[in-house]
A and B are shown apart, each in its own frame.
Chain A
Amino acid sequence: MSEASSGPKREPPGWSRSLPPGILRAGDRLVRHTILLQRCFDGTQMRWSDALVARMRRHAGGCISAAEMALRLEIERQDTRIGQYVAALPEACCWNLIERHPPLIDPVLLAHFRDRAALSLMRQESSFSDPEAVAGREDKALFPPTVIETLTTITLAQSGWADGGPDHVPMRLDIPAEVMAELVWTACSIIADALIRTSGLPKAEVLETVQAAGWAVLGRHDEQTGPFAMSALFAHQLRVIGPTEQQLLHLAREGHVLPLLAILGDRIGIELLDLVRAVVEDAEPALFTLCRAADMPREVAVRLVLGRRSVARGVDDSMLVQYADEYDLKAPDAARESVAELAMPQPLRDKLSLLHDWMTDEC
């Protein structure tokens, strides 16, 4: 028996938590089985929806293919000789290889695509019945012009997230800087490896050109064009006027999920990326607690939780009603205390969690 199955308590690899089984066509049987078990019988009431798995794969494939396209163009621009070999590589070679070898994609990267996919589904869920609402005529009356401009930019940028094309067709690379760096170097490594194998060119020459192309692509990236940074800016701008209950309700009703979460994170001091992860992964009571900690109106909390149902099937309606009824009874101070850990640095949270698990095991 392999080491991976050496004990019943052994955790599956970290990257498997957010890995869609659909991309494991030729993957390791044991890993595939572990992921399926994790996905279907994870011991909680959470289940990732098929829509989320499909959308996540679309985002991963689309962004990786976009990075590949940018790198191909840059390599051709920098060195026409190597460019000829790049042009001869099969289309979407990066995504194709990742589909065959999923561990190539970093867990942080895949988790980010899952979060993007979840946000786009939550937004879609809210605005499905009224597409005109996205343009938001009321936005103009409720918010100052500078804030409206930011909100419009976020809305337009996020509209591309609902793209339902084939997985390997490029999507707009509107991702945070750290994610972009990981993505570009992943694509660089695949292209460089393919060139070294197929071109017969000196390895050092290939690596130098690919690396230069990677830096050039990164140098042109502007994370502020992405909805995450724009939403953080939106919350920052709105902080000056202090968002009213009417504005918060409007954002929730119009499906401005990410801007709303940015305000929530700003209020309770949690980084937006961490908060989005919590909203996607945590159970419903935790979502209500987050909203309560940020002193959000009850309706905002309920809409957020209902929107999340397109991402993961949760508790029954009767339980949701109970949670919602208890919302106003929970003191904001107590809620803040409950979610304070999320504001701590990630390494500290990881270590605390590890220690907690060890101590529990010892007991």
Chain B
Amino acid sequence: MNADPVAGDIRVVRLDASGRILSADEAILRLQRAAGGTPDGRIAVPQIAAVAHLARRLGILIARPLLVGGAERDIRLWVRARPTDEGMELHFSEWQESFPTESGDNAALRAADVALSAEGADWRTDGQMRFLQTGAGFDFGAPGDEFFSNLADAGVGQPLTSAIAGRRPFFSLPALAKGQGRVIELSGHPLFDVDGSFLGYRGKAKPVDEHTADVREAIPEGKTVMAAPDIPALPDLGKRLDLALRQPLGRIIANAETISGQMEGPLRADYADYAADIADAGRHLMELVDDLADLQAIDRPGFKVASEDIDLADLARRAAGLLSMRAADRHIRVDAPATDEAMPAVGEFRRALQIIVNLLSNAIRYSPEQSIVWMRVDGDESKATLVVADQGHGIAIEDHERVFDKFERLGRDDVAGSGLGLYISRRLARAMKGDLTVESAPGQGARFVLSLPREATRV
């Protein structure tokens, strides 16, 4: 467990009468952006929104501890929400970050069991079984909803309820999505912090019919199928590595950042530099783990993406928000589409965002300091395009296709990048019936063009 850089400080957010942010400290805006909100929109972090709502409803000051769950780490903080004449004032203090850990000796294996349904949508709850996070494609509840208000046991003997009550992991249990009246398949494993405190569940969900359709496709006609033994098959080595590495790496990075930032007291400069190197190397390894996990998923036969209505301009703005700190560190300005601009397309929200983040991340990484990265959207009747253009060294014409090869880094030997990002991005774009291309010449920067079908051409 580490103290956040702002531990001990008080961070303030002011809301107007309609609940929109009037002003907020950067630390809070980071949480807001991570939750998909905008700096001047309504509070998007469900736990904070709930406290603000309670304070407004009762007309009274609320002072409570909060747990804000994230994909890799949780933030615990203390909030004071006071209704004011203008709207609401929220003070945040006592920041703590913690990393969920698995309980028991066989934790990695249990987590691996959950990964058997790796193609499902992610979900995460807090200790009170309220959704903290729901990934793309999770239509069975939203952050802030209570788990049992939206989902119920569909199995005999209430195995889901009993597993959750006992804080045990569960795998591929049928659950009834109450709002939709259909059965889905849920897997989940409990999360505990270093004290053994229950932090909630993280898991995957997928519609049962989708799963059974996959199974039917995999069985050749005329073949008989043996009944599967009642033991979940073990996932492959790559997935196990992914699960086993991600959490330790997260801790290494966070601890190294704490040391290099000298957050717990002054340190010799060279030691702080070593810690910064460790954090950089850790982040590189984490990217590699992410890329390997993606590589494994997309290279698997039958890999599918969801078909959703998305907005490329909105995704570009989100990616710019996510990488704004990294760009600011290098004094690079990201010129994202204006907030009133829209470019509808069809694809999987999460995967399209992944591609755009990869393109923008490369552009920031390989552009000179003080330069500009442009993100522009365009479209015609059949396709929508997003261009990410930088002012970097550019790519020779003969290398235009090579950059999309696996592990291709065009002779670069810097520590950043695994050489898999563009390969994965193109595979993902093509899986969504789109494409990813590059236009560039040495000394003229690079323009990566992501194209996806418009609504008329469903995936």
Contact = CB atoms under 8 A, between A and B. Distances in A.
A106 interface: no
Contact of A345 (B80, B146, B168, B195): B146
Interface string B45-61: 00000000011001111
A353 to B, nearest CB: 13
B129 A345 contact: yes
A237 interface: yes
B61 A224 contact: yes
Nearest to A274: B128
Contacts of B64: 229, 232
Interface string B190-209: 00001111110000000000
Interface of B: 1, 3, 7, 54-55, 58-65, 76, 78, 80, 83, 94, 96, 103, 127-130, 146, 148, 164-168, 194-199
A264 to B, nearest CB: 10
A63 to B, nearest CB: 15
Contact of A269 (B63, B96, B166, B197): B197
Interface of B is mostly: mixed
A219 B60 contact: yes
B195 A269 contact: no
Nearest to A223: B63
Interface stretch (A3-11, A65-73, A162-170, A174-182): A174-182
A233 B62 CA distance: 13
Given A221-B61, A223-B61, A224-B80, A336 B198 contact: yes
B76 A236 contact: yes
Contacts of B165: 337, 340-341, 344
A215 B60 CA distance: 8
A1 interface: no
Contacts of A221: 60-61
Q: How large is the interface on A (under 10, 10 to 19, 20 to 34, 35 or more residues)?
A: 35 or more
A255 B181 CA distance: 52
B261 to A, nearest CB: 17
Interface of A: 177-178, 180-181, 215, 218-219, 221-224, 229, 232-233, 235-237, 239-240, 242, 266-269, 271, 295, 332-333, 336-337, 340-341, 343-345, 348
A332 B196 CA distance: 10
A271 B146 CA distance: 16
B432 to A, nearest CB: 39
Of A224, A232, A269, A348, which is in contact with the most chain B CB atoms at under 10 Å from its CB?
A269
Contacts of A223: 60-63
A271 B128 CA distance: 9
Contacts of B127: 269, 343
Given A224-B63, A340-B166, A348-B146, A266 B197 contact: yes
A219 B56 CA distance: 10
Contacts of B128: 269, 271, 343-345
Given A266-B197, A337-B167, 5 more contacts: A177-B61, A177-B63, A267-B196, A269-B197, A345-B128
B62 A242 contact: no
Given A239-B76, A337-B165, A344-B129, A177 B60 contact: yes
- Which are the 5 A-B pairs with shortest beta-carbon distances? A269-B127, A224-B63, A269-B198, A337-B166, A218-B60
Contact of A222 (B3, B63, B148, B198): B63
B96 A240 contact: yes
A215 B55 CA distance: 12
Given A229-B63, A267-B197, A336-B198, A181 B58 contact: yes
Contact of B194 (A233, A242, A266, A343): A242
